Structure 1
Amino acid sequence: MSKSPPLSVEQRAILALWYEVNASLSAYHKLISTFGDAQLAWQAKLEAWRQLGIHTTHLKRHEQPEQTQANIDKIQQALTEGRYSLLFADQADYPMQLLQIYDPPPLLFYRGNSARLNQAQIAIVGSRKPTAHAQKTTFDMAQYLAQAGYVITSGLAMGVDKRAHLGALAQADAEYQGRTIGVMGTGIDVYYPNHHDQLFAQIIDQGGCIISELLPHTQPHKHTFPRRNRLVAGLSLATIVTEATIKSGSLITARLTSEQGKQVFAIPSHIDNSNAEGCHHLIREGATLIYHPQQVLEDVNSQLGYERYAYKATDMSASNSDQTAHSIDTDSSSSISASGQSPQSNIKSPPSAVVVPEHLTVVYEQLDWHGQDLDALLVATELAAPQLIGQLMELELLGVISVQGGRYLRV
């Protein structure tokens, strides 16, 4: 992490306000809209704050400017030592898409590669306790979309969030590594969940980014996670919910995505899977049903007007038809404008898919993401058991299928 330059007078004033209102967005924006800028707002008398209806706890902090200055000095020290960095809303590297949401944060603490913040992103969210199938689906979705050039954004939680980050990081080609952003529901220096410190380090080391709008040392609280969810939605062009209960916080992210005028995708499951009731509810309410990441690419790319590239791709559904794949620029210069559009420059197509040999296509075409057991495949292919098992082993060695719980499925 590179060391940051000293904070300017205005930046210290912004931090002072943010500290004194304890990162309250409503109080901060009320003060800025009333006084015009952070310096004037922070220099205002206590009575002026009181007349605005500022909360009592904020007033108490405003009565102790020395304590405020001491806390800013601690943050400046951490910035100087390179423990984390800061972006303010008026800086060029601040993610422009966040300026379009109702309540953008005035600043972002971050660790890692901040260039990711202005690249085109797709959010993947879901259950903290997903089924094995949902974990695999999430990982595959993230890996596929990251290889197509998108940054995968999620909330660093257990379950689906973690699998989304890991899928985005699982790229053999260095050009596609590190395409993930983790949005924290704590301070930038607080690991939550505690055992995710390795995931945090992996994201940063591989070129991803971790951000928080909350002050350092802020501990997890039930109110901080909906705030995180709004940033996940705000940063992204669309949100995918891979598996979620009806009371999942992922539905908050989906709702915020929809309110921001963006597309929500949901993956269906068995009707008796209570862990997927949230996805089924979203589909009923108008979310786009998907069963393959290519469908996400087609919808998102067509919305953005990206140039299309036709290439021969092995379909991961039951058909064997040609499909059109789209990609965005994978360079760090592939950024989104304030309107959410990506510049038309050096757009690349994703790497070619593995070509399945002709003698294996009959078996391969019988497979999908849900998986088939050996008995079902014997009936469907009408092959002898030794021949079928041999072909399945070949497909597995090619890396185009995997085995989970005795069921064979595409990857």
Structure 2
Amino acid sequence: MTVHLPPLSVEQRAILALWYEVNASLSAYHKLITSFDDAQLAWQATVEAWRQLGIHHTHLKRHEQPEQTLASIDKIQQALIEKRYSLLFADQPDYPVQLLQIYDPPPLLFYRGNSARLQQAQIAIVGSRKPTAHAQKITFDIAQYLAQAGYVVTSGLAMGVDKRAHLGALAQTDREYQGRTVGVMGTGIDVYYPNHHDQLFAQIIEQGGCIISELLPHTQPHKHTFPRRNRLVAGLSLATIVTEATVQSGSLITARLTSEQGKQVFAVPSHIDNSNAEGCHHLIREGATLIYHPKQVLEDVNGQLAYGNKPHRSTDTFKFNSNQLQSTQSSNSINTSGSPIATADQPASSNIKSPRSAIVVPEHLKVVYAQLDWHGQDLDALLVTTGFAPPQLIGQLMELELLGIINVLGGRYLRV
């Protein structure tokens, strides 16, 4: 009789129990771990002990129903046994070490595919969900070049630039360099979003890439989940390339997070009348490195790696037509109206207010917004005035920025 050992230890089940009961809230999870020093002790603590820590009432309600928590963990364990997906915990050697260096690393990662990709040198490529044909070609070619150079291309599995980045990395004839891409999800590991990207997900997995999510299985797409995804894209990567993006694009949040983590941001220029590339031009003005060939990225990024960790791969045989970056885009579908472009991951421009419109601040963001002015406040000052924990404050600032009602200049948050 074959005995199947459970894939989860007691401690791992406790971590999962906390993660489930706080509904993947980073601030609540880290508050509990910091207070009790141990996941098991935190989960065994009383509801009253959680309440005294200021844990949200919805999390308290889940903590009052341990039988539902255990049932959910059993479902996850069964999925692990059936190999529908796998799980990495932050204390395991296969957990990507670069995520341990960000401010709020997830305690666990659900994944499908080849987890070895998470340990390899990665470069992020992000941008518009509705890129011009020119930007799609440039994105594909840059990703293919980087993969052939031995790097893993990381992106967010969204429409447009993200998809072209993944496909470019997968377009390798050499089996040794196939599958060099990591997709970070803004949903649960078992939820396809966008729905029609199921073929892309399958191709990444079949060719040796990896797809990850910090969110619980069955988690549906929501405006709060995509900034979380963006921080992981930035955290996994040595640098971020923005190939085309509007000023209101979530890609600029990824770029800012990259910069805040002390990493380099690269931006591809375009014609000045291409409103779809205004975000790239803004980044260049703010100090991002302008590139017109992916070799320029490698020259800068290779210096960050110890010699033994550098990908050893010649790109001499790869032809990248740098003249494409100077070619006319008159035949491409460029939005010249100046209006924000709707994306698959974010609401359309109805959530973006112009300076002359009445600004509507969601109720749960009013405390943070009230502390902001038009001169700017840095993060340390806001931590003091709001009294919020850093992960909670950063999450709310990201949301305000996505709504287009605050901006970030020189590390200071200000109203627009």
Q: Which residue of 2 aligns with 1:353?
A: 317
Q: Is the CA contact (8 Å cut-off) linking 1:4 and 1:79 kept in structure 2?
A: no
5 Å-filtered alignment, 1:161-172, equals 161-172=162-173
Tell me: CA distance 1:199–1:344, structure 2 relative to 1, closer, same or farther (3 Å).
Answer: closer
Structure 1: distance between partners of 2:221 and 2:91: 28
Tell me: CA distance 1:259–1:59, structure 2 relative to 1, closer, same or farther (3 Å).
Answer: same
Structure 1: distance between partners of 2:150 and 2:331: 32
Q: Which residue of 2 aligns with 1:179?
A: 180
Q: Which residue of 1 aligns with 2:158?
A: 157
SS in 1 for 2:182: strand
Structure 1: distance between partners of 2:138 and 2:174: 21
SS in 2 for 1:264: strand
SS in 2 for 1:152: strand
Structure 1: distance between partners of 2:326 and 2:224: 39
Structure 2: distance between partners of 1:95 and 1:150: 15
Pick the structure with greater CA Rg. 1
Question: How far does the alpha carbon of each residue in 1:115-142 deviate from its partner, in whole angstroms, 9 at most, with x for none?
Answer: 0001000000000000000000000000
Structure 2: distance between partners of 1:218 and 1:198: 20
Residue 354 of structure 1: how far off its partner (Å): 6.2
Q: Which residue of 1 aligns with 2:268?
A: 267
SS in 2 for 1:369: helix
User: Match for 1:350: what amino acid?
Assistant: S
Tell me: CA distance 1:70–1:344, structure 2 relative to 1, closer, same or farther (3 Å).
Answer: closer
Tell me: CA distance 1:354–1:301, structure 2 relative to 1, closer, same or farther (3 Å).
Answer: closer
Q: Is the CA contact (8 Å cut-off) linking 2:117 and 2:209 kept in structure 1?
A: yes
Any unmatched runs of 5+ in structure 1?
307-342, 357-363, 374-403, 407-411
5 Å-filtered alignment, 1:79-94, equals 79-94=80-95
Q: Which residue of 2 aligns with 1:326?
A: none
Ranges of 4+ aligned residues in structure 1 off by more than 4 Å:
none
Structure 1: distance between partners of 2:323 and 2:105: 41
Tell me: CA distance 1:4–1:199, structure 2 relative to 1, closer, same or farther (3 Å).
Answer: farther
SS in 1 for 2:323: coil
Q: Which residue of 1 aligns with 2:111?
A: 110
Q: Are positions 1:215 and 2:216 aligned together? A: yes
Structure 1: distance between partners of 2:120 and 2:133: 30
Q: Which residue of 1 aligns with 2:387?
A: none
* 1:369 counterpart (316, 324, 349): 324
Q: Which residue of 1 aligns with 2:200?
A: 199
Tell me: CA distance 1:246–1:371, structure 2 relative to 1, closer, same or farther (3 Å).
Answer: closer
Question: How far does the alpha carbon of each residue in 1:181-240 deviate from its partner, in whole angstroms, 9 at most, with x for none?
Answer: 000000000000000000000000000000000000000000000000000000000000
Q: Percent identity?
A: 84
5 Å-filtered alignment, 1:121-132, equals 121-132=122-133
5 Å-filtered alignment, 1:278-293, equals 278-293=279-294
SS in 1 for 2:277: helix
Q: Are positions 1:137 and 2:138 aligned together? A: yes
Structure 1: distance between partners of 2:225 and 2:107: 16
User: Match for 1:268: what amino acid?
Assistant: P
Q: Which residue of 1 aligns with 2:66?
A: 65
User: Match for 1:222: what amino acid?
Assistant: K
Q: Is the CA contact (8 Å cut-off) linking 2:145 and 2:318 kept in structure 1?
A: no
Residue 370 of structure 1: how far off its partner (Å): 3.5
User: Match for 1:125: what amino acid?
Assistant: V
RMSD: 2.1
Q: How many residues align?
A: 329
User: Match for 2:103: what amino acid?
Assistant: Y
Residue 369 of structure 1: how far off its partner (Å): 1.4
Q: Is the CA contact (8 Å cut-off) linking 2:184 and 2:233 kept in structure 1?
A: yes
Q: Is the CA contact (8 Å cut-off) linking 1:178 and 1:208 kept in structure 2?
A: yes
User: Match for 1:163: what amino acid?
Assistant: R
Q: Is the CA contact (8 Å cut-off) linking 1:130 and 1:243 kept in structure 2?
A: yes
SS in 2 for 1:220: coil
Residue 350 of structure 1: how far off its partner (Å): 1.5
Q: Is the CA contact (8 Å cut-off) linking 1:155 and 1:232 kept in structure 2?
A: yes
Q: Is the CA contact (8 Å cut-off) linking 2:148 and 2:313 kept in structure 1?
A: no
Residue 5 of structure 1: how far off its partner (Å): 4.9
SS in 2 for 1:103: coil
Tell me: CA distance 1:57–1:151, structure 2 relative to 1, closer, same or farther (3 Å).
Answer: same
Q: Which residue of 2 aligns with 1:394?
A: none
Structure 1: distance between partners of 2:125 and 2:248: 17
SS in 2 for 1:105: coil
User: Match for 2:194: what amino acid?
Assistant: P
Residue 56 of structure 1: how far off its partner (Å): 0.2
Q: Which residue of 1 aligns with 2:383?
A: none
Residue 302 of structure 1: how far off its partner (Å): 1.9
Q: Is the CA contact (8 Å cut-off) linking 1:4 and 1:80 kept in structure 2?
A: no
Structure 2: distance between partners of 1:354 and 1:106: 39
Structure 1: distance between partners of 2:319 and 2:198: 38
Q: Is the CA contact (8 Å cut-off) linking 1:4 and 1:82 kept in structure 2?
A: no
* TM-score, length of structure 1 as denominator length: 0.77
Structure 2: distance between partners of 1:344 and 1:163: 27
Q: Is the CA contact (8 Å cut-off) linking 2:125 and 2:154 kept in structure 1?
A: yes
User: Match for 2:296: what amino acid?
Assistant: Q
Structure 2: distance between partners of 1:68 and 1:266: 45
Residue 344 of structure 1: how far off its partner (Å): 4.7
* TM-score, length of structure 2 as denominator length: 0.76
Q: Is the CA contact (8 Å cut-off) linking 2:270 and 2:325 kept in structure 1?
A: no
Question: How far does the alpha carbon of each residue in 1:367-397 deviate from its partner, in whole angstroms, 9 at most, with x for none?
Answer: 7114668xxxxxxxxxxxxxxxxxxxxxxxx
5 Å-filtered alignment, 1:20-39, equals 20-39=21-40
Question: How far does the alpha carbon of each residue in 1:315-374 deviate from its partner, in whole angstroms, 9 at most, with x for none?
Answer: xxxxxxxxxxxxxxxxxxxxxxxxxxxx358x5232532699xxxxxxx9xx7114668x
Residue 6 of structure 1: how far off its partner (Å): 2.0
